[in-house]
A and B are shown apart, each in its own frame.
Chain A
Amino acid sequence: MARISAKDIVVDFPIYGAKSRSLKNAVLHTATGGRLATDANERVIIRALNGLSFEFKDGDRIGIVGHNGSGKSTLLRVLVGAYEPVRGSIKTVGRVASMLSLTLGIDVEATGYENIFLRGAIMGLKRKEIETIVDEICEFSGLGDYIHMPMRTYSSGMYMRLAFAISTSVAADIVVMDEWLSAGDHAFAEKAQSRLSNLIEQAKMLVLASHDENLIRANCNKILQLDHGDMVRFGAP
């Protein structure tokens, strides 16, 4: 079962300039005395998410839409657990696959083969589990003997092929994606699409943020629209 229930979640970003991020200020304030409360109030805060409540259930394919800076990426990061909301609660049931960054944890000096293990471990797999999928990843990426070369020797296309292959190799209950993933040249892109679709079909829930309306319409059965951190719409498209 997969479920995400959020109740009144608020995310504020404190903006630290040279001013309040340095200790100097804290020390100086003692000298002047008593202005701390004011300072705390004067601090710039950006409210990225403003009291969102929603319930994602099994079978939901949620498209998150909104302008730049409307809070889409922040919401995705809350959903994968990177940001904890400053207020409200969020409860997640099910294994979450964060596809916010395909290349996170990749070391370009290591070989492609080594990187399968590196990234696999970061994705939460044990060595034994990675060993069972490593051949399939090598095969799918179509890199042949290049898999044993350092990744810095790869072209950007080859690099993305492998990163894509690793990231999409693990089944999850909840797939969280920032923009639709694609990789490689035309032939590989088709292969990649069917692999991704397959992964998403197996997942119990998809959360996809995108600017592409057609994409959202094709893949999602619910839409969550954000505007300046407010949820202005949530429901069928």
Chain B
Amino acid sequence: MGKTVTQPVMIKWLASLEQQIHAGFSTGFPLIGRGVHIGNRNQLALAAKDFRDGIVSIHVWPMLGWLEIKQRYRRSFLGPFWLTISTGALLGGMGPLYGRLFGLDISTYFPFLAIGFVVWLFLAGIITDACVAFIAAEGYIKQMKLPFTVYVLRMVWRNLIIFAHNAVIVVLVMLFWPPALSWHLLLIPPAVLFIALNGIWVGLGLGVLCARFRDIPQIVGSLVQVAFFLTPVMWQAGMLGRNQWAAQWNPIYHFLEVVRSPLLTATTNWNSWAAVLGITAIGYTAAFLLFARFRARIAYWV
């Protein structure tokens, strides 16, 4: 009953959304396929060029990413290590409390929470910042020509720096409760890399959508807040009992798992790795098509 009513509405809604976005591109040319010729090159090729040029601009985006961190902590004695301290304080308070509430031993619960929370902060930071990747770069975008990808990479780089500071906590926790050594630990760096890689498509996709529709940053902001409670960060997926689907269908859970499982259980959750790889492929395809279609409009929208 619920399905039959909602599905046509959803389809209609998506169709209208598509048309609304399309209306933003005022000439209404179908860009993919036939291609609009600006200097005789179609939009997919131009988007690919933007992407390539952006990535090779390694004298720009790492610097801009660092600059934002420096600006935030200028003249503070500890600088970005305040991130470490505030995350540490939060964990120090939450760990014992929730460990007790869930009736779990602190030596198992605290590492679980610390790793999960630090990775969660990384993911949530990327998703939230992705919304303003282009909006926040308005000044640059309107005055000069830089590849749009640069602004996305700056956002991901900044979040990677923040993650590195928070990761200090994970290292401290691991020194206190050492993990079982296994080759599975070798998969942690690639897992972090994959989170960052996914941040790029999230930034391209959400960046474009949010530049056009200014409600989306607000929607994403509240969804991220809800997601924190719906994702096994504070609680463990095992506690779901027969309702495992609630974790399995949550994409964020898999991104947590690829970092968490080697450290906590000396295993690799291949299921989650498969999900992460799948999400990467689908995400890049969808975001890149969206970016290709509306790249030329971003300067008009921001």
Instruction: Report yes or no: A84 in contact with B38, Cβ–Cβ below 8 A.
Output: yes
Tell me which of A18-26, A60-68, A208-216, A219-227 binds B: A18-26
Q: Smallest Cβ distance from A178 to chain B, in angstroms?
A: 10
- A101 (CB) vs chain B CBs: closest residue: B143
Chain A residues with CB below 8 A from B237, complex form: none
Instruction: Give CA–CA (A98, B214) in the complex, Å.
Output: 29
Instruction: Give CA–CA (A80, B141) in the complex, Å.
Output: 11
B296 at interface, CB cutoff 8 A: yes
Instruction: Give CA–CA (A30, B212) in the complex, Å.
Output: 19
Q: Smallest Cβ distance from A115 to chain B, in angstroms?
A: 10
Q: How many residues of B contact A (CB 8 A)?
A: 44
- B23 (CB) vs chain A CBs: closest residue: A40
B188 at interface, CB cutoff 8 A: no
Instruction: Give CA–CA (A86, B300) in the complex, Å.
Output: 10
B238 at interface, CB cutoff 8 A: no
Instruction: Report yes or no: B214 in contact with A22, Cβ–Cβ below 8 A.
Output: yes
Q: Smallest Cβ distance from B182 to chain A, in angstroms?
A: 41
Instruction: Give CA–CA (A87, B59) in the complex, Å.
Output: 33
Q: Smallest Cβ distance from B128 to chain A, in angstroms?
A: 18
Report, as a range, how many residues of chain A touch the other chain. 35 or more
Instruction: Report yes or no: A127 in contact with B71, Cβ–Cβ below 8 A.
Output: no
Chain A residues with CB below 8 A from B74, complex form: 109
A217 at interface, CB cutoff 8 A: no
Chain A interface, DSSP helix/strand/loop, else mixed: mixed
Instruction: Report yes or no: A26 in contact with B20, Cβ–Cβ below 8 A.
Output: yes
Chain A residues with CB below 8 A from B142, complex form: 77, 82-83
B140 partner, pick from A36, A86, A104, A109, beta carbons under 8 A? A104
- A92 (CB) vs chain B CBs: closest residue: B39
Interface string of B33-54 (1 = CB under 8 A from A): 0000111100000000000000
Interface string of A90-132 (1 = CB under 8 A from B): 1100001010110011010110000001100110011100000
Most buried by B among A21, A85, A90, A127: A21
- Contact status of A82 and B24, CB under 8 A, knowing A26-B13, A89-B38, A122-B146: no
Instruction: Report yes or no: B213 in contact with A82, Cβ–Cβ below 8 A.
Output: no
Instruction: Report yes or no: B215 in contact with A127, Cβ–Cβ below 8 A.
Output: no
B103 at interface, CB cutoff 8 A: no
- B19 (CB) vs chain A CBs: closest residue: A36
Chain A residues with CB below 8 A from B296, complex form: 84, 86
Instruction: Give CA–CA (A181, B9) in the complex, Å.
Output: 57
- A37 (CB) vs chain B CBs: closest residue: B19
- Count of inter-chain pairs, beta carbons less than 8 A: 117
Instruction: Report yes or no: B24 in contact with A109, Cβ–Cβ below 8 A.
Output: no
Chain A residues with CB below 8 A from B167, complex form: none
Instruction: Report yes or no: A91 in contact with B143, Cβ–Cβ below 8 A.
Output: no
A139 at interface, CB cutoff 8 A: no
A232 at interface, CB cutoff 8 A: no
Instruction: Give CA–CA (A107, B68) in the complex, Å.
Output: 10
- Contact status of A26 and B17, CB under 8 A, knowing A14-B24, A39-B23, A104-B144: yes
B26 at interface, CB cutoff 8 A: yes
A43 at interface, CB cutoff 8 A: yes
Instruction: Report yes or no: A83 in contact with B20, Cβ–Cβ below 8 A.
Output: no
B16 at interface, CB cutoff 8 A: yes
Instruction: Report yes or no: A98 in contact with B16, Cβ–Cβ below 8 A.
Output: no
- B214 (CB) vs chain A CBs: closest residue: A21
Instruction: Give CA–CA (A36, B17) in the complex, Å.
Output: 10
A36 partner, pick from B16, B145, B301, beta carbons under 8 A? B16
A236 at interface, CB cutoff 8 A: no
A180 at interface, CB cutoff 8 A: no
Instruction: Report yes or no: A122 in contact with B26, Cβ–Cβ below 8 A.
Output: no
A27 at interface, CB cutoff 8 A: yes
Chain B residues with CB below 8 A from A126, complex form: 59
Q: Which residues in window 6-56 of A have CB below 8 A to B?
A: 12-14, 16, 20-27, 29-30, 33, 36, 39-40, 43, 45
- Chain B residues near A (Cβ < 8 Å): 9, 12-13, 16-17, 19-20, 22-28, 37-40, 59-60, 63, 67, 70-71, 74-75, 139-146, 212-216, 219, 296, 299-301
11 additional A-B residue pairs with CB within 8 Å, beyond A83-B142, A88-B38, A89-B40: A14-B24, A22-B215, A24-B215, A40-B22, A80-B144, A82-B145, A86-B25, A86-B26, A107-B71, A110-B67, A121-B59
7 A-B Cβ contacts within 8 A? A13-B300, A14-B26, A22-B215, A43-B23, A89-B38, A98-B144, A105-B140
Leading 6 A-B pairs by shortest Cβ distance: A81-B145, A40-B23, A84-B296, A26-B20, A23-B215, A109-B74
